[in-house]
Amino acid sequence: MRKIWSTEDILQLHLSRRVFLGGATALAGGVALGPFLPGSAHAAGGDLQIMAWEGWELSDELADWRTKNGVNVEVSAIGNQDDVTSKFSSGNPPPFDAAEYNQGYSDLYIDVLKITKPLDKAKIPNYSKENLFDVFYDKPTWYRDGKLHGVPYAWGLNALVYAPDKVEKPASYTDLLKPEFKGKIAIVDDTLATWPLAATLAGFGSKFPHLTKDEMASTFENLVKYRDQARVISLTYGDAVSLMVSGEVVAVLIGWTGIPVETAKQGLKTEYTIPKEGATTWCDAWFMPPSVDNEETSYKFINEAISPEIQAKVVTRNAAGVVSSKAVELLPPETKALFDYSDVNGIFKAAPLLGIPPLKSAEHATYADWVAAWNEFKAG
Amino acid sequence: MNLSRTKIGAILAAPTVVYMVIFFVVPSLILFSYSFWSSESYRVVPDFVFTNYLDSLHSAVFWKVTINAVRIGLTTAAISLVLAVPVGYYLVYVSRSQTMLYLILITWFSSYLVRIYAWRTLLGTNGVLNAVLLQLGIVDHPVDAFLFSSFAVTITLVHIYLPFCILLVTSSLSEIKPDLIDAARDLGTSSLGAFFRVIAPNAANGLAGAFMLTFILVAGDYVTPQMLGGSSGQTTGLLIADQFRKTGNWPLGAAQAFVMFVISIALYFILVSLGRATGLIVKRRTINPKGI
């Protein structure tokens, strides 16, 4: 049926055209003048693709921010740092705007793979001396040639986790070699945490990651004692949680503070303890790949991730440490009690952040040597 | 326009052939060429060296995990085939029930990982199997050996791949007409005799195919063995994955993948040769369209 136009319809059309023409003019003007208008370059919005560890993607913590700014975040979960490495080391750059990485991979990502983009600190106002603990601000781990490549996001300690209702509190990692632990411990397939500890247990802790091939061999020879005690080498920390809850194991050789939180949710009390040999530290950071698509929103996202309020929320959920000193006062007592926030420098002085073994070396065992030895260790 | 049968066949097969050439043959050739290249700090360097193959073949760990993968593959494929043949026979010659077939295949609708965790629950120290054995007084304390053992890996892999094997066996038995079995029975052979003298020789190629396809899928699986096998659960797939994901040494990973490929092919020929030598597999004659 043909439409018969009324006067109102014609007026509406006229108005619509005016609105359309006005909008088009504004749009054209915006495109031309936009870069010169204050604040316009920093507008967040649109789709953002990130790679984040499960629980660290800020889905709940940044819900309001996403709604307010019209941001749609698509998350690819990281189960292991290799997930990130393998994606970014293949030929075509993957379509991510930001991703997390462990400090151990800094040299590899920044110097070798060159998958991190130098960041403009001016676009991350929360990255400041006032907001961050000193150990996380402008430190070489995340810096190259005067440019920031990674924004520290969260940190923690890797140490022993055990079930206090089933076994006595171990004072040393060597306590796990006692008969009562036979077939009752798990070793997690996390080389970043296990290799430094293995070196420590073999007496080479201060030299890691620069051990000779003989020292590396001695390290794994010593670690075999723990494998013989182990029920299983679990794939992930999540797997270790389910093994503890199901009663298959009563201790994890090297776990982290998040495990007791997760087992408690499933009705099992476990505790995190630092034996006399000490703990190892970790720190995850956000990086932006050179192929970033939605750069401005990515900057905004990273900036929000290290704001005191968001920091307090996300580490409370995951039982980890905040990089923002201002966030400490916002933490609930149990999360605050996890670490001695009065001496964060001391924590990292006692257990410095470590890298992975060298990729190439004539003198020391290389990363490939360690991976081969680790596979041999796992194969029994 | 009259097209010959050959041309019609070629036209119908073309999309699949083109797809397989682009997404399987070409990538496989690229991977094969990678296996002769070298790697330097996550970069693949064009080269022509045999180092990757020699390193793999001289690696004790590689052989240890490869033998483990082959052992898991052969055990699982053999058990799956033995269990699949009676089911296939029942479905083809007795029931002809499509519903039964769908019920068998419905297990595929559950997640792979969920099934692995379900078996952990069943076989664990505090699992269902131990609880039953304790209740019945067969054991006086939970048996640790059920989980994180070759037993756990095999029983789980059989559970995962048995429906697939049943499908292949059913397909190969479907080609054998019931008239042949009736004729054998009329000539005086027993039911068991009819199976071994008529069905088995005619279905032998299909059964060998079912065995090998199950073997290949199982031997390449590295998740189930790792999650349920403990230190006995390391397989070649894990080593290969580590070269691509952890060390960025694609050439070495490619070489290891092709060594595993050659081992699978060799096993197939050994199996077929053994079958022919023992008379279990009969070389079938090709019949041309004119039936001559």
Distance, first Cα to last Cα, chain A = 80
Residue B136 placed within a domain: yes
* Tokens representing residue A42 in the block: 């920093």
Nearest chain B residue (CA) to A84: B245
Testing the interface with A: which of B51, B244, B246 to mutate, by most A Cβ within 10 A? B246
Pair A255, A339 in one domain: no
pLDDT in tens, A161-192: 999 999 999 999 999 999 999 999 999 988 98
Report yes or no: B38 at the A interface, CB cutoff 8 Å: no
pLDDT in tens, A291-321: 999 999 999 999 999 999 999 999 999 999 9
Residue B118 placed within a domain: yes
**pLDDT band at residue B284 using 50, 70 and 90 as cut-offs:** low
Mean confidence (pLDDT) of chain A: 88
d(CA A308, CA A129): 13
Say yes or no for a CB contact (<8 Å) between B234 and A378.
yes
> Which of B61, B121, B148 faces A376 most closely, judged by CB atoms?
B61
Q: What is the pLDDT of residue B287?
A: 55
Report yes or no: A348 at the B interface, CB cutoff 8 Å: no
> Which of B65, B227, B246 faces A379 most closely, judged by CB atoms?
B65
Report yes or no: A272 at the B interface, CB cutoff 8 Å: no
Tally of domains in chain A: 2
Q: What is the pLDDT of residue A43?
A: 63
> Which of B125, B244, B246 faces A248 most closely, judged by CB atoms?
B125
Q: What is the pLDDT of residue B3?
A: 76
**Alpha carbon of B73 to those of B211, B220, B264, B276: distances in Å?**
10, 8, 10, 22
Residue A70 placed within a domain: yes
Q: Would you list the DSSP string of A305-352?
A: HTSHHHHHHHHHHHT-EESBGGGGGGS-HHHHTTS-GGGHHHHHHHS-
* Tokens representing residue B69 in the block: 């993968």
Whole-number percent of chain A with pLDDT over 90: 75
Residue A19 placed within a domain: no
Report yes or no: A231 at the B interface, CB cutoff 8 Å: yes
Pair A84, A191 in one domain: no
**Alpha carbon of A243 to those of A184, A230, A250, B76, B151: distances in Å?**
10, 12, 9, 26, 19
Residue A139 placed within a domain: yes
Q: What is the pLDDT of residue A235?
A: 85
Domain that holds residue B221: 60-278
Radius of gyration of chain A (CA): 25
d(CA B45, CA B39): 6
B37 pLDDT higher than 70: yes
Pair A319, A181 in one domain: no
Pair A273, A139 in one domain: no
Residue A323 placed within a domain: yes
Testing the interface with A: which of B247, B249, B250, B256 to mutate, by most A Cβ within 10 A? B247
Say yes or no for a CB contact (<8 Å) between B126 and A246.
yes
Pair A141, A288 in one domain: yes
pLDDT in tens, A11-21: 344 434 444 34
Say yes or no for a CB contact (<8 Å) between B126 and A113.
no
Mean confidence (pLDDT) of chain B: 89
Residue B41 placed within a domain: no
Backbone angles phi, psi at A73, to 5 degrees: -100, 125
A273 pLDDT higher than 90: yes
Q: Which is higher by pLDDT, B47 or A12?
A: B47
The amino acid occupying position A271 is E
Alpha-carbon gap: A374 to the closest alpha carbon of chain B (Å): 10
Chain A residues close to B68, C-beta within 8 Å: 379
Pair A171, A243 in one domain: yes
Chain B residues close to A268, C-beta within 8 Å: none
pLDDT in tens, B74-92: 999 999 999 999 999 999 9
Domain that holds residue A231: 156-278+356-379
Report yes or no: B232 at the A interface, CB cutoff 8 Å: yes
Residue B267 placed within a domain: yes
Pair A118, A83 in one domain: yes
Chain A residues close to B147, C-beta within 8 Å: 248
Residue A316 placed within a domain: yes
A354 pLDDT higher than 90: yes
Pair A232, A258 in one domain: yes
Tally of domains in chain B: 1
Among A104, A112, A146, which Cα is nearest to A285's? Answer: A104
Stretch B161-190: mean pLDDT: 90
Residue B247 placed within a domain: yes
**Predicted ipTM beyond 0.85:** no
Nearest chain B residue (CA) to A358: B41
The CATH number given to whatever domain includes residue B142 is: 1.10.3720.10
Report yes or no: A107 at the B interface, CB cutoff 8 Å: no
d(CA A199, CA A192): 12
Alpha-carbon gap: B219 to the closest alpha carbon of chain A (Å): 16
B250 pLDDT higher than 70: yes
Alpha carbon dihedral B57, B63, B66, B67, in 10-degree steps, equals: 130
Chain A residues close to B64, C-beta within 8 Å: 379
* Tokens representing residue A293 in the block: 């698509």
Report yes or no: A85 at the B interface, CB cutoff 8 Å: yes
The set of long-range contacts for B129-138, using a CB threshold of 8 Å and a minimum separation of 24, is none
Q: What is the pLDDT of residue A82?
A: 87
Residue B1 placed within a domain: no
> Which of A235, A368, A379 faces B247 most closely, judged by CB atoms?
A368
Say yes or no for a CB contact (<8 Å) between A247 and B125.
yes
The CATH number given to whatever domain includes residue A134 is: 3.40.190.10
**Alpha carbon of A363 to those of A77, A108, A210, A211, A215: distances in Å?**
37, 19, 9, 9, 11
* Tokens representing residue B67 in the block: 């033998």
**pLDDT band at residue B278 using 50, 70 and 90 as cut-offs:** confident
Pair A246, A364 in one domain: yes
Residue A82 placed within a domain: yes
The total number of residues written for chain A in this structure: 380
**pLDDT band at residue A10 using 50, 70 and 90 as cut-offs:** very low
Pair A369, A274 in one domain: yes
> Which of B41, B231, B239 faces A380 most closely, judged by CB atoms?
B231
Pair A219, A361 in one domain: yes
Report yes or no: B225 at the A interface, CB cutoff 8 Å: no
pLDDT in tens, A68-124: 999 999 999 987 888 899 888 877 778 899 999 999 999 999 998 999 999 999 999
Pair A299, A369 in one domain: no
pLDDT in tens, A127-160: 999 999 999 999 999 999 999 999 999 999 999 9
Testing the interface with B: which of A166, A356, A371 to mutate, by most B Cβ within 10 A? A371
CA A216 to chain centre: 27
Report yes or no: A375 at the B interface, CB cutoff 8 Å: yes
How many CB atoms lie under 10 A from the CB of residue B166?
23
Say yes or no for a CB contact (<8 Å) between B117 and A242.
yes
Q: What is the pLDDT of residue B190?
A: 87
